[in-house]
Structure 1
C-alpha cells in the first residue's frame, strides 16, 4: 500500500461554484556572523540559539561575494535573522515531511563567478529573438541575454547597472519586500552576489514574455560530497497599471542528471494598483541537486497575479510561495504541477493572506509520484482575516500515486476570521480510476496506452495554463519523456 497522509480541518464554508479566475538605517558593512559572547551582564538567548553549522555557511557566503553598498541593507537584515535560526529538522512543523539532511551532510561550497568555459556551453540557445536575461550561478550574464526592444522606462538587469537615480531609489524602497522567511530565505539575502531588477513604470505594458534563464554551471560529480551553492535573487516592481509576463526557467548540469549542486533562489514581486503579472515557473534541474525557491508576492488594490508552475527536477525541491493581498478587489491564481521520480522529493509550501474586501484567489495543485521511492508534499494555507469580507477563495490539491510505497503528504488549510465569505477546499490522493481505464479499453485501447494517456492528461490541466504555445509544447514533451522515456525514444526515431 502507498503511504498517504492527509490533514483537513473542519471549517464552515460555502462551496465555490467554479474553479476559474474571473476576467475582469545608514548602510554599513555587515559584520561577520558570529555568536555573541556570554558575560554575566548579558542574557543568553541569541548565543544559545545560534547554530554553528548555519553560521559557518553564512560566513563562507559572506567571504565569497563582493561588497555592495546598495545591498548592505538586505544583507544586514538577513544576517540578524540567521543569528537565531537553526538548521531545520523533521521536528520543525514546516519541515515535518521534508528531509534536508541531504544538504547538511554535504560539503557546501559557495559558487564563485562562472568561468569562461562554462559560458561557452551556453551559446546555443535557439530563442535569441525572445526577451531574455541569462543568470549563471546567481550572476547576470549580459553577453548571453537579449533585451533590445524594451519599452521606454523599463529596466531589466543588475541593480548596479541602473542609470536612473529615481528607479534605484524606488527599487530600494522594497528591499526587502517581506518579513524574514525561513533559514533559506536569509541565507540567500546574505549570499546573493547580485540583485536582478525588473522595473515596469506606471501604465507600461510589455508585449510578450520576459524569459529569465537560470543555469547552474558548477557541481560535484557522482559520489562526491561537494555541493556548490548559488543564491540568485530577483526583485520585480510593477507600478500602477503596468503589465508584464515573466518566465523563470531553472536548468543545470548541462543535461547531466548526476551533477550535484544547490540552487537557493528568491524572487520578490511588488504589484501596484491595477497592475498585472503573469508568472510562469519551470524547474528541470539535475536529479542530484537541491533546489529551494522562495517566491514572495505583494499585491495592491485591484491587481492580478497568476502563477503557473511545473517542477520535475532536483533530488530535493521545495518551493515556498507567500502572497499578501494588501488591497481590495485583488485576484490571485496559483496553478502547480509536480512530478516526483526515483528518490525525489517535490515540496510546495504556499500561503495566501487576504486582508481586504472582495479578494479572490484560486489554487490548483497537482502532483504525480511515479516511483516507490518518490515523495510529494503539499502544505497550503489560505488565511482570510477579519476585514476581508466578501472574499471568494478556493483550493484544490490532487495527487496521483503510480507505485506502491510512494509517499504523498498533503495539508490543506483554511483559516477564516471574516464572516461574509465564500471559501472551499478539497484534497484527493489515489491511483488511476478503474472506470476511466475501463472506458478507454472498451473502445479498443489497450491497458498500457490507456494508462499513459490518463497520466499525461492529469498534468495537462496545469500545463495548458502557460500563456505561450511554444512553452506549453516544450514542457509537455519534457513531462512525457520523464513519464515514458522508452516511448519517447521510439517516437523520436
Structure 2
C-alpha cells in the first residue's frame, strides 16, 4: 500500500517540473508491405519504426470505417476526428516499447507482440443475452462494453439535469460542446504509444460534464468498463478495445467517481486487451474523488492512462486497487496548473504468479 500527497502552496513552485520517466526512441530499419506503402507517404513511412505498430493502427482505422459504414448514426464529431488524425500522425513516429526503454524496463509486453491483434467488434454485434448475467447496475451508472458506450445498460436518470453524460458526438453545438472539445487532448507530448493507439481506435469519447457549483457526492458516478469479447488462452489472436472517457468538472463543483474494469460473460479467465484512457479536468476550486478498481481476467492485458489536469485551488484524490490482468500497466499523469492545488494518490496492488502490476506516476507543477 502506497500513499503520496502533493500540495502546491505557493505559485513559485509551479516554475519547476518533476519528470519521473524518460522516453527513449531508437529508429530502426524496416521493410514495409505494399499495403503500408500505398497508405502512407514516403516522408511518413521513413519515420516509422515498427511495422507491427502500423498494422495495428490500420486495423483499428479499418474497423472504425466499417462500423461507420454499417451504422445509421451520423459521422463522428469534428473534435473526435481531430483526435484520430493527430494520434495517427504521432503513432507513426513511435516504436513498440521494449525493455531498453526506461519507462518499460520492468514491463514485459512480449506476449502482446507475439499475438495477432484484432479490434473488438462493434457493440451492435454483441448480444449480451448470450453471456452470463452481467453485474447489477446501480444508479448513476455509465457502462462501456468493449470500448463502446452502452446507453441501454446505463442508468443516468438520477444525475442533475444540468450534468451531461454521454458520447461527445451527441453533445449539441454550443458552449458545452466547445468547452469539452477544448479539453480533448490531442497532444501526445509526454505520452506513449498506447495513448496514441487509443486515440486512433476509440469508437467515441464518453463525456461527463459537471457544471459550475454542482455537487455529486452522496451517489457517486459509476464508470463500468466491461470486457465481453475474449479468446481462450493459447490462441494466436487477441481482441483489443480502446475505451476513452473525458470528465470535465467546472469551477467549485464536486464529484465522486468510481471506475471499475472487469471481464463479464465468461470472460473472467479469457484473453483480451483493454487499452483505455480517462482524462479528468478539475476546475478552479473544484474537487474530484476518484476510485479506480481493476479486476480483469488473469489472462488479460490491461493498459490504462489516467491524465488529470488541476486548476488553481482544486483537489484531486485517487484511490487505486489493482488485482487482475496478466499484464496491468497504469500510466498516471497529473498536471497542477495553478497555486494551492492538492493531489492525493493511494495505490494497492496484489500480484500472484505470472502477473505484472506496473504503476508509472508523473506529477508536473506548472503555472
Q: TM-score, normalised by structure 1?
A: 0.62
Q: Structure 1: how far apart are the matches of 2:245 and 2:38?
A: 24
User: What are the residue-to-residue correspondences of 1:308-347 with 2, within 5 Å?
Assistant: 308-347=319-358
Q: Tell me if 1:157 matches 2:166.
A: yes
SS of equivalent residue, structure 1 residue 62? helix
Q: Of 348, 352, 368, which aligns to 2:363? A: 352
User: What are the residue-to-residue correspondences of 1:162-173 with 2, within 5 Å?
Assistant: 162-163=171-172, 165-173=174-182
Work out whether residues 137 and 155 of structure 2, in 8 Å CA contact, stay in contact via their aligned partners in 1. Answer: no
Q: How far has the Cα of 1:257 moved from its partner?
A: 4.0
Q: Structure 2: how far apart are the matches of 1:194 and 1:258?
A: 27
Q: Tell me if 1:73 matches 2:77.
A: no
SS of equivalent residue, structure 1 residue 350? strand
Query: Which residue number in structure 2 is paired with residue 82 of structure 1?
Result: 91
Query: Which residue number in structure 2 is paired with residue 182 of structure 1?
Result: 192
Work out whether residues 33 and 59 of structure 1, in 8 Å CA contact, stay in contact via their aligned partners in 2. Answer: no
User: What are the residue-to-residue correspondences of 1:39-438 with 2, within 5 Å?
Assistant: 47-65=46-64, 66=68, 68-70=76-78, 71-114=80-123, 115-118=125-128, 121=131, 124-128=134-138, 130-163=139-172, 165-176=174-185, 179-180=188-189, 181-207=191-217, 208-356=219-367
Question: Residue deviations 1:27-69, cap 9 Å, x none?
Answer: xxxx99955326xxxxxx8614432111110011001013524
SS of equivalent residue, structure 2 residue 258? strand
Q: Structure 2: how far apart are the matches of 1:351 and 1:19?
A: 12
Q: Structure 2: how far apart are the matches of 1:348 and 1:19?
A: 13
Q: Structure 2: how far apart are the matches of 1:33 and 1:341?
A: 46
Question: Residue deviations 1:285-321, cap 9 Å, x none?
Answer: 0111100000001000000000000001110000000
Q: Structure 1: how far apart are the matches of 2:39 and 2:4?
A: 50
User: What are the residue-to-residue correspondences of 1:448-487 with 2, within 5 Å?
Assistant: none
**For structure 2, which runs of at least 5 residues remain unmatched after alignment?**
10-35, 69-74
Work out whether residues 229 and 261 of structure 1, in 8 Å CA contact, stay in contact via their aligned partners in 2. Answer: yes
Q: Structure 1: how far apart are the matches of 2:361 and 2:135?
A: 32
Q: Structure 1: how far apart are the matches of 2:316 and 2:140?
A: 20
Q: Structure 2: how far apart are the matches of 1:193 and 1:147?
A: 21
Q: Structure 1: how far apart are the matches of 2:240 and 2:210?
A: 30
Q: 1:242 to 1:223 in 2, by over 3 A?
A: same
Q: How far has the Cα of 1:226 moved from its partner?
A: 1.4
Q: Structure 2: how far apart are the matches of 1:225 and 1:342?
A: 22
Query: Which residue number in structure 2 is paired with residue 470 of structure 1?
Result: none
Q: 1:33 to 1:102 in 2, by over 3 A?
A: farther
RMSD: 2.4
Question: Residue deviations 1:344-400, cap 9 Å, x none?
Answer: 1100000011235xxxxxxxxxxxxxxxxxxxxxxxxxxxxxxxxxxxxxxxxxxxx
SS of equivalent residue, structure 2 residue 265? helix
Work out whether residues 305 and 332 of structure 1, in 8 Å CA contact, stay in contact via their aligned partners in 2. Answer: yes
SS of equivalent residue, structure 1 residue 142? coil
Work out whether residues 75 and 190 of structure 1, in 8 Å CA contact, stay in contact via their aligned partners in 2. Answer: yes
Structure (1 or 2) with the larger CA radius of gyration: 1
Q: How far has the Cα of 1:160 moved from its partner?
A: 2.1
Question: Residue deviations 1:195-217, cap 9 Å, x none?
Answer: 10000011111132000110111
Work out whether residues 313 and 342 of structure 2, in 8 Å CA contact, stay in contact via their aligned partners in 1. Answer: yes
Q: Of 26, 36, 44, which aligns to 2:41? A: 36
Q: How far has the Cα of 1:221 moved from its partner?
A: 1.0
Q: 1:92 to 1:21 in 2, by over 3 A?
A: closer
Q: How far has the Cα of 1:89 moved from its partner?
A: 0.6
Work out whether residues 228 and 265 of structure 2, in 8 Å CA contact, stay in contact via their aligned partners in 1. Answer: yes
Work out whether residues 230 and 267 of structure 2, in 8 Å CA contact, stay in contact via their aligned partners in 1. Answer: no
Q: How far has the Cα of 1:126 moved from its partner?
A: 3.0
Q: Structure 2: how far apart are the matches of 1:200 and 1:61?
A: 31
SS of equivalent residue, structure 2 residue 285? coil
Q: Structure 1: how far apart are the matches of 2:120 and 2:203?
A: 10
Q: 1:315 to 1:117 in 2, by over 3 A?
A: same
SS of equivalent residue, structure 1 residue 340? coil
SS of equivalent residue, structure 2 residue 151? strand
Q: 1:140 to 1:119 in 2, by over 3 A?
A: farther
